[in-house]
Every structure is written in structure tokens, then in C-alpha cells.
Structure 1
Amino acid sequence: ATPAPSAWQGAAMQWLNPKAWLAAVAGVGAYTGGEQHLLWLFTWIYGPICFLSVASWAWAGSVIRQYLSNPRHLRLLNRGLAVLLVGSAVYLVI
């Protein structure tokens, strides 16, 4: 079996996240107006918020993994997501 990636490898992969890059660039453009001190303020606010967001997703993933280790729970989740997917496709067609 292949070993799971380390925390450092996961952190390094975040540099390849296009959604994070777009959010950062859009935030800088929207809130700094080209002023240096506003760029630093944005960085000091945005950094911890992003860290807390990623940490929250990681925590939620570990909790959900424990719940989904039960095959019945996993099957229910997959069926529920399938219903939502079909429902959204029907909504788009109508």
C-alpha cells in the first residue's frame, strides 16, 4: 500500500491551488487599491483566515472519515449525493 502524503507534502500542494490564487489576487485587487500598507494589512488578515479555513476543512474531513468508515453510512451519502446531482441536472434542463 502506498503511504499517505505527509502534512508537508499537503501544504506544498496548496501552491498549485488555482482557486486560492484567484481568491488572493481578487482580494488584493479589490481591497488594496495599489497601496503598500493596505497590501500588508490584507496579508495579515487574509493569512490567518485562510489558515483557519483550511484547518477547519481538515478537522471536518477527519470527523467525516470516521463516520464514513461504516459502509452503510457511505452508501447513504452516495445515494443522497446522487439524488442531489440528478435534481440539479433536472433543474438545469427545465
Structure 2
Amino acid sequence: MNDLAVLIPFLIFGIVMTGTPGPNNAMVLVSGARVGIWRTMPLVCGIALGIGLQLAVVGSGLGAVFEKIPGFHTVLSVSGAAYILWLAWKIATSGPLQINVEQRPPMGLLGGAAFQWINPKAWALSISAAATYVPAQNHILNLCIAAAILTALSVPCVGAWAVGGVAFRRILSHPTYALAFNSFMALVLVLATMPAILRLSS
């Protein structure tokens, strides 16, 4: 990963994939609105660590498992889709923000990391990155570097969505605005996930 011709496109790819709407960022936005930036940071760090770990595992040979057990790939895709649809429903029906009520983040460090294994967008990111940006020469070293870079990129790119959530906090205590926001975020969650599921299933 010391070749700028590979490194710069990989950085752009990582920023776009981790910073654009998807299941991770939808959860972080909602969590930021409900519990604030600092209490959402364990979730953000868990997501970042999970993304880096997934890239390392995928790049080091999980693809061979998919080739030997073709149905395993489909099971992961279907399970991930079902969970995300449930999560979208929970967000859509979560109601207005109760500012004076102590609330817990939807996930912590371990939950955020584990969520990547059923997150279709994370799978698309890991598979694409491992296949496209990790050189075959010194593969394991380059893979570890790429995973570390992706982890570091994910913290600010995903964390920015927690800041956005805080910006929306005040209006989310109004039932009408909350319903519109929650419904919109649930829709974004589903729409951002479907293309990744379709790519992984094809």
C-alpha cells in the first residue's frame, strides 16, 4: 500500500463507502440524536474496528469458504436483510425524542463490531476492497495496512453522523417532525442496503 496510485484511490473509496448513507450511519445518526456524540462513540469505534477486522478476514481467505459452501453466502445476505428490515421498523416506530429521559445507545463497541458481519454494505466494502485495492505482492502485510487505514478512516466518516444527529435533536422532540425523521431514516436504511444485498447475491 506504499504505491500512491493504489493508496489514493483506496482512500477515496474508503471515505465514500464509510461516509455515505447506510445501515451503520443511520444507526449512528439516530444514536447521536438520542444520546449525544460521546455516548455514541463506542458504537462508532465498534463499527470502525468491525470494518477493519472484516476486511482482514475477507482478504485472508473467507472467499474460499464461500466457494466451498455456496449457500453460506446467501444465508448471510438473507439474515442481514431480515435484521436490517427489523432495525428499520424499530427506527420508524421509535416515537419522538424524550430529551429528559435517560436513554441507551442502540449498540456499544462489541455490538457495532459484530453488526458488520450481517451488514450487506460492509460485506460489499470488504469484498470490493480486498479484490481491488490490496496488492498480491506482500499480500498479508498490505492487507493489514489496508485494514488499519480503513479503521482509521471510519471513525471520522461515521462519527460525523453522530454530530448530525445532535443537530437534529431539538426538532425531534416534536411528534410530527420525529415521525417524519424516523420514517425517512428507516427508508434510507432500507434503500441504502438493498443495492449491496443485490450485488452480494448476484
Q: TM-score, normalised by structure 1?
A: 0.57
Distance 1:60 1:14, change over 3 A: farther
Match of 1:55 in 2: 159
The one of 44, 68, 71 equivalent to 2:172 is 68
Higher deviation after alignment, 48-57 or 10-19: 10-19
How far apart are the structure 1 equivalents of 2:165 and 2:157?
12
Match of 2:118 in 1: 16
1:30 has 2:148 as partner: no
The one of 89, 108, 111 equivalent to 1:7 is 108
The CA RMSD measured in Å over matched residues stands at: 2.9
- Higher RCO structure, 1 or 2 (CA under 8 Å, sep 6+): 2
Name stretches of at least 5 consecutive residues in structure 2 with no aligned partner: 1-102, 185-202
Kindly name which structure, 1 or 2, has the bigger radius of gyration based on alpha carbons: 1
1:39 has 2:140 as partner: no
How far apart are the structure 1 equivalents of 2:140 and 2:107?
36
Q: TM-score, normalised by structure 2?
A: 0.31
> What's the % identity of the aligned pairs?
29
Q: How many equivalent pairs are there?
A: 77
